[in-house]
């Protein structure tokens, strides 16, 4: 039987930014945002967002349009996100920490992308023919001189729950990232679940610690404002764990959304300092990659630690979170994967066999998700991956669902347990990656004739249980003087791919082993990688 989340009615027009506007009216002088030395109240942030929204509307932006945002963490980032939503358009996070080539691949497939918001420091990263570039500093100066009555009023743009609110990119097997679209109804449903199921309110302040391009960051940025609490922005393009810990301590942050690997680093900060700021956080929501319970157990079971540590599971195509489990009995988790629990509101989790039939209780199968959280699908590109969105037969009729490609089982005690992948998609530091995407980028390099990439637990000195990528590379050229330069190849890969997609080890080989079907034997490569020592220059 599937796992069915609680059915909870939503407003007729479930729009996240309307909740923020309500707080701006009822609590205008309360702090909404801090970033470095900057502080904005709900009224001030709402006014900035409204002025930007009216500018977009005047330029013809509205429902169905996409607006890219390539800004560092700053007050302008949140004003832009809210302004795009208020205009009726959907925003596209473009992380300025990504290489410019990767960002151009992302924007190039979105024909609906008519505007891109950037700063003077990020504009060169996102030049795109056909899209109007709005430079944040210049736009802010222009808007500051406009009248404060109408441009500061909340725009009244008709929207429905089916309209798009944001579009994030996931790794694609063809070498092109896939743009997955999230609907207002799904996003509102997720944030409403966070608020009601965890009793989040005006005191539930948050801190951003993840990459802007990551799906987890969209809820991390908006959940505090949705509940009337302040969001604290880490004023650094790269994640700075020491700075993040200082902000948690200084502001008394109460909610964190992050990948387990980020939590590990924050725990290490706390242990090194001998302090307890992290134990003062009310709720920590982790997900996006397999959890190593041993790395959080000592901290979680520390005397006086009252933090509720929630282990979540979900995919970007289904609004980020599908299930959650409150971790408590850590000794029980260390013998296998920790459970990810029961579904969020208005969400159903199915575990199906290869024929699409429910597996017996306790059996393993592919995890499929249905309900309000299922997104609108993939946009642009070459259509690859759209078959993952499907229909499932139910006693009440067919329902739209998403095949995750993850394998799991359902248990009576703890709900869903995720046990692996059915394909070549993996998660590294919380970001989902398709191995074919990495292989495509390797093969495009003139130093490489062919490449095969596997994901294995790191045994070369990294944290226990961390998944790393190992690339087996057939170098271009066959002469004896040809020398494989792993350091040069790594440097070139870092210019075209996010760091988490660049393989940890680059291993030169003459050829790949083959299985009985004549295909590359990836199991053999993975076995080699699991026992492969680090090599110089890689």
pLDDT, tens digit (0-9, with 9 covering 90-100), for 204-240 = 999 999 889 999 999 999 999 999 999 999 999 888 9
**Number of Cβ within a 10 Å radius of residue 449:** 14
pLDDT level of residue 146 (50, 70, 90 thresholds): low
pLDDT band at 174 (very low <50, low <70, confident <90, very high): low
pTM of the model: 0.86
Q: What is the mean pLDDT of residues 465-476?
A: 87
Residue 405, both tokens: 């490609």
Where does the pLDDT of residue 286 fall: very low under 50, low under 70, confident under 90, or very high at 90 and above? Answer: very high
pLDDT recorded at residue 479: 46
- Closest listed residue to residue 531, CA positions, set 474, 423, 458: 458
- Collapsing DSSP to helix, strand or coil, 299 comes out as helix
Q: Are 170 and 177 in contact (CB under 8 A)?
A: yes
Residue 135 tokens read as 């430079």
Q: What is the pLDDT of residue 429?
A: 76
For residues 186 and 375, give the distance between their C-alpha atoms in angstroms, rounded to a whole number.
7
pLDDT score, position 413: 84
| CATH architecture group of domain 10-409 | 3-Layer(aba) Sandwich (3.40)
Question: What pLDDT score does 164 carry?
Answer: 98
Bridge pairing between strands 113-118 and 3-4 = unpaired
Phi and psi dihedrals of 385, rounded to 5?
90, -5
What token pair was written down for 536?
């110089």
151 band by pLDDT with thresholds 50, 70 and 90: low
CA max distance for the chain: 75
Q: Output the pLDDT for position 465.
A: 59
CB within 8 A of 21, min separation 6: which ones? Answer: 46, 154
CA-CA-CA-CA torsion sign (348, 351, 356, 359): negative
pLDDT of 415-439, one tens digit each?
A: 999 988 777 667 787 777 878 788 8
pLDDT above 90 as % of the chain = 64
Residue with tokens 């575990």: 351
Domains of the chain: which residue ranges?
10-409, 434-530
Question: What's the DSSP call for residue 381?
Answer: T
Q: Is 166 exposed, middle or buried (0-12, 13-18, 19+ CB in 10 A)?
A: buried
Torsion of CA 516, 522, 524, 528, to 10 degrees: 160
Least confident window among 73-87, 157-171, 180-194, 465-479: 465-479
Q: How sure is the predictor about 463, in pLDDT bands with cuts at 50, 70 and 90?
A: very low
Res 480: pLDDT: 40
Q: How many CB atoms lie within 10 A of CB 59?
A: 14
Question: Which range among 28-37, 331-340, 444-453, 492-501 shows the weakest confidence by mean pLDDT?
Answer: 331-340
- CA atoms of 39 and 34, how far apart (whole Å): 4
Say yes or no to pLDDT of 23 above 60: yes
pLDDT at 412 over 60: yes
Question: Of 9, 17, 4, 7, nearest to 79 (Cα)?
Answer: 17
Q: What CATH code is assigned to 434-530?
A: 3.30.300.30
Residue 162 or 439, more confident: 162
- Count the alpha carbons within 13 Å of 200 in the hemisphere toward its beta carbon: 32
Give the span between the Cα atoms of 169 and 527, in whole angstroms.
31
Which pLDDT score is estimated for 55? 94
Q: Which of 115-129, 189-203, 317-331, 410-424 has the lowest mean pLDDT?
A: 410-424
Q: What is the pLDDT of residues 508-522, one digit of tens each?
A: 998 888 754 446 788
Dihedral sign of CA atoms 31, 268, 288, 314 in order: negative
pLDDT of residue 461 exceeding 80, the answer is no
Q: How confident is the model at residue 293 (pLDDT cuts 50, 70, 90)?
A: confident
The better pLDDT of the pair 482, 233 is held by 233
Q: In this predicted structure, what is the pLDDT of residue 142?
A: 86
Mean per-residue pLDDT over the chain, rounded: 89
**Are the beta carbons of 330 and 295 closer than 8 angstroms?**
no
Q: What is the Cα–Cα distance from 13 to 56, expressed in whole angstroms?
A: 22
- Partners of 365 in the beta sheet? 408
Tell me the per-residue pLDDT of 441-452, one tens digit each, with 9 for 90 and over: 898 898 998 888
Tokens matching residue 74: 């700053």
């Amino acid at each position: 039987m599937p796992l069915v989340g609680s059915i909870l009615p939503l407003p007729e027009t479930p729009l996240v930014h309307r909740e923020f506007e309500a707080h701006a009216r009822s609590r205008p002088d309360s702090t909404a945002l801090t970033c470095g030395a900057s502080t904005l109240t709900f009224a001030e942030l709402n006014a900035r967002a409204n002025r930007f929204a009216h500018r977009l509307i005047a330029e013809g932006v509205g429902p169905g349009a996409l607006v890219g945002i390539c800004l560092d963490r700053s007050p302008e980032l949140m004003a832009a996100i809210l302004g795009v939503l208020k205009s009726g358009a959907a925003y596209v996070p473009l992380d300025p920490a990504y290489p410019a080539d990767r960002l151009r691949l992302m924007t190039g497939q979105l024909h609906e992308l008519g505007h891109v918001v950037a700063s003077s420091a990020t504009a060169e990263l996102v030049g795109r023919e056909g899209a109007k570039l709005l430079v944040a500093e210049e736009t802010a100066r222009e808007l500051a001189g406009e009248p404060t009555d109408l441009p500061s009023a909340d725009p009244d743009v008709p929207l429905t729950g089916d309209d798009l609110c944001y579009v994030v990119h996931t790794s694609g097997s063809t070498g092109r990232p896939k743009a997955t679209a999230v609907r207002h109804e799904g996003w509102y449903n997720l944030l409403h679940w966070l608020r009601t199921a965890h009793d989040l309110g005006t005191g539930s302040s948050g801190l951003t610690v993840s990459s802007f391009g990551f799906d987890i960051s969209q809820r991390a940025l908006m959940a505090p404002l949705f509940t009337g609490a302040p969001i604290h922005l880490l004023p650094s393009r790269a994640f700075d764990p020491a700075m993040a810990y200082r902000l948690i301590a200084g502001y008394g942050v109460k909610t964190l959304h992050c990948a387990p690997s980020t939590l590990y680093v924050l725990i290490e900060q706390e242990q090194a300092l001998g302090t307890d700021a992290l134990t003062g956080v009310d709720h920590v929501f982790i997900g996006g990659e397999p959890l190593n319970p041993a790395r959080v157990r000592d901290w979680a079971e520390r005397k006086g630690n009252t933090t509720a540590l929630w282990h979540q599971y979900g995919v970007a195509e289904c609004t980020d979170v599908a299930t959650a489990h409150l971790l408590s009995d850590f000794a029980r988790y260390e013998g296998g994967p920790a459970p990810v629990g029961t579904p969020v509101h208005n969400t159903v989790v199915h575990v199906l066999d290869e024929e699409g039939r429910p597996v017996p209780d306790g059996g393993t199968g592919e995890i499929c998700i249905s309900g309000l959280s299922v997104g609108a699908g993939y946009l642009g590109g070459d259509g690859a991956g759209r078959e993952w969105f499907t229909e499932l037969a139910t006693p009440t009729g067919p329902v739209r669902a998403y095949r995750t490609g993850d394998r799991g089982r359902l248990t009576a005690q703890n709900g869903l347990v995720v046990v692996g992948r059915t394909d070549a998609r993996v998660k590294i530091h919380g970001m989902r990656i398709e191995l074919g995407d990495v292989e495509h980028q390797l093969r495009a390099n003139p130093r490489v004739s062919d490449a095969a990439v596997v994901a294995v637990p790191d045994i070369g000195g990294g944290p226990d249980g961390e998944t790393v990528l190992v690339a087996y590379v057939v170098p271009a050229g066959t002469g004896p003087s040809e020398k494989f330069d792993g350091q040069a190849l790594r440097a070139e890969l870092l210019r075209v791919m996010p760091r988490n997609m660049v393989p940890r080890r680059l291993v030169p080989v003459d050829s790949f082993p083959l299985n009985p079907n004549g295909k590359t034997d990836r199991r053999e490569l993975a076995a080699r990688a699991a026992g492969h020592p680090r090599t110089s220059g890689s």
